[in-house]
Structure 1
Amino acid sequence: MAFSSIQLGALITGALLMIIGTVALVYLDNVLKKIIGAAFIGDGVNLLLVSLGYKANGISYIFLQNMTVDNFLGNAAYPLPFALVLTSIVIGASTLAVMLALTIVLYKRHGTLDASALLNDKKLGEDKE
């Protein structure tokens, strides 16, 4: 499969976003930075899906009256990745909002966002009396 330069650039950028997000999830100790890393991974996957659906000199997948079926089928872009990305954006935005809300609760309760301090906190497993 031959890739155009735009498509190859989007594939490389998507892969870099996923690598940066994975490094943030694994190596950074701040919970907020881990959430940003998770968002980078989601954005990288979305970019990869969009770049896979891209077709050089392609047309939108709307069949107009002056088109022939052969012309339409040969030149139309593949619509499934774009539909998947649209769904992923909506789900990712709502998940990110919930993660940020939980981060605010964690900070108000424990006064820190360091993951190692939160995991070592003895109050996390105990009920307040």
Structure 2
Amino acid sequence: MINLPYIAVTILLLIGFYGLIFRDNIIKTVISVGILASAANLFLVSTGYRAEGITPIFTAVPEDMVMVFAVPQALVITAIVIGLAMTTLMLALVIRIYKEYGTLDTKEIRRLRG
């Protein structure tokens, strides 16, 4: 049985790590961190999925009904907010680096620093 969400998580992780390791542009690094955060969020949502599950908002549910696991969904909502704050901070640092060095290439910044 093919589990498509986990395959998508693996692909997103590979893309994110590739961008972190092999790209010299700081903007591409920020994008790669965002892709890694999306992979983590997709993984958490996938763990809470139940086939033919219902939302856990009812107080009286028949015994034969299966509910989805709501904790990963709550964690993902929190992770999205944290990811937004993290991305904002990284982009603010990118702007500061660009104003200081005039480039976003990490090799060039290392050269300019001496």
Tell me the CA shift for residue 63 of structure 1: 2.1
Tell me the CA shift for residue 50 of structure 1: 0.5
Structure showing greater Rg: 1
Across the aligned residues of Structure 1 and Structure 2, the Cα RMSD in angstroms comes to 1.6
Distance 2:113 2:84 in 1: 32
Tell me the CA shift for residue 30 of structure 1: 0.4
> How do residues 1-129 of structure 1 correspond to structure 2 at under 5 angstroms?
8-65=3-60, 67-68=61-62, 70-72=63-65, 75-122=66-113
- Once the two structures are aligned, what percentage of the paired residues are identical? 36
Which secondary structure state, in structure 2, belongs to the residue aligned with residue 47 of structure 1? helix
TM-score, structure 2 length as denominator?
0.91
> Is the contact between residue 54 and residue 77 of structure 1 (CA under 8 Å) also seen in structure 2?
yes
TM-score, structure 1 length as denominator?
0.81
Q: Which runs of 5+ in 2 are unaligned?
A: none
Distance 1:81 1:122 in 2: 43
Number of aligned residues: 114
Distance 1:122 1:15 in 2: 36
